[in-house]
Amino acid sequence: MSQLSALSLSIGVLGAVATWLFLTVGGILIWAGFIGWACYFHNGGTNEALKTTIICNIFGSLCAWAAAMLILGIPLANTLTLPVWAGICVGVLVWALCMAANIKALSSIPSSVYGFAATFAFLLQTPEMLSLANLTSLTLKNAFIVVSLSMVIGALFGYASGKVGAMLTSPKTSAA
């Protein structure tokens, strides 16, 4: 089987399993899982890529969480207007996220940005979750927890799909 065919089959089958898992467990985000899965391959599809993906997705989510905490926790929105204050907070945290790429473990800026974007996507699409109470809870209502967990699960599915795809393309050896 060709490498593309094997990987496609592996991703298709494990994508079905992942969909079942995410929809059965509830509370975890299938779309964030697929972003984490894609990040794994974007980072090279290796053991090192798994580590980089997980660390950077979580770091990006943490930066977004910190921005949301600043936006909600410091009442400058009343002075500056919410869009200006939110823009300042996001700008500062995205700058920090990019500068952190000087640290090898945080070197995949795209993966960190995906974590950042996924966290704000969750918060802006579910505005009832955008509160200090939810952001500081130790539950799946906390954007940092639910997005990070979902992306880690997705990265692990990416890793598994890569390994299964490689097994399907390995040449068969026969005993002589």
Asked if 94 and 116 count as a contact pair (C-beta separation under 8 A), the reply is: yes
pTM of the model: 0.91
pLDDT tens-digit profile, the chain (176 residues)? 889 999 999 999 999 999 999 999 989 999 999 999 999 999 999 999 999 999 999 999 999 999 999 999 987 766 778 889 999 999 999 999 999 999 999 999 999 999 999 999 999 999 999 999 999 999 999 999 999 999 999 999 999 999 999 999 977 655 55
Return the pLDDT at 77: 62
Question: What DSSP string runs through 12-74?
Answer: HHHHHHHHHHHHHH-SS-HHHHHHHHHHHHHTTSSHHHHHHHHHHHHHHHHHHHHHHHHHHHS
For the chain, which residues make up each domain, given as ranges? 3-166
Q: Specify the pLDDT at position 172.
A: 64
The predicted pLDDT at position 114 comes to 98
